[in-house]
Amino acid sequence: MHKVRWSIYQLLTFSLIVLFMWFLEYINQNGTNPHSSGEWTAVNSTYMTFITVSLAITLFYLIFLFEAKKDNSLLDRSLWKVMPTICIVAGIVSVILFLIGGIFGPIMEWVEQWRSLLYVFMIYFLFLIFLFIFSIEHKNNRFKQRNEKTVHIAFIWTIVLFIVLYFLF
């Protein structure tokens, strides 16, 4: 029963991610935020972009935290030894496919038809970044600290990374 409760919390958190992305698309479709160039966009300021990214990362953090609270969780598997390598390979392949699909393939046409694909891509890449940082922290401190602490540290490092990138760019 204890494991089911955390799984329900994870499902609710994932539902919040979907609801948040739907809300961004709703704002975009109804044109409630005028962009300076006369176009409509869901996120038109750098502050809103930072808040959007931070909220998405926070929801990933909650999903991982609920997983860490389970007995015999996925975080205790031996797969985490090679997860940084898997994340790097998946990230490189994803970026290459995204660029090729955007330049030569149908991704731009798909995005024109289904604008919500932009949010799916954004969530995917943010998740990959969070997963990479978590996997490095988890691999380095596998037996030295609890999984919950590893999730907290990964969340802090991910937010710090985006704060630094926010101020640099």
Residue 119 tokens read as 């949010």
Q: How many domains does the chain have?
A: 1
Tokens (6 digits) for 58: 């926070």
Q: What 3-state class would DSSP assign to 45?
A: coil
**Residue 104's CB: how many other CB atoms inside 10 A?**
9
Q: Which domain holds residue 54?
A: 2-168
Pick from 94-98, 114-118, 135-139: least confident = 114-118
Task: Tell me the helices (H) and strands (E) count for the chain, helix number first.
Answer: 6, 0
Average pLDDT, stretch 13-35? 79
Confidence of residue 124 (pLDDT cuts 50, 70, 90): very high
Q: How many residues does the chain have?
A: 169
pLDDT of 105 > 90? The answer is no
Please give the pLDDT value at position 39: 53
How sure is the predictor about 37, in pLDDT bands with cuts at 50, 70 and 90? low
From the number of C-beta atoms within 10 Å of its C-beta (0-12, 13-18, 19+), residue 96 rates as exposed
Do 83 and 150 touch, CB atoms closer than 8 A?
no
Q: How far is CA 127 from CA 29, 37, 43, 59, 87, in A?
A: 25, 31, 19, 10, 10
Which of 33-47, 58-72, 94-108, 140-154 shows the lowest per-residue confidence on average (mean pLDDT)? 33-47
Q: How large is the C-alpha radius of gyration of the chain?
A: 18
Lowest mean pLDDT among 1-15, 42-56, 75-89, 146-160: 42-56
What distances in angstroms separate CA 3 from CA 44, 93, 102, 131, 145, one per listed residue? 40, 34, 41, 22, 21
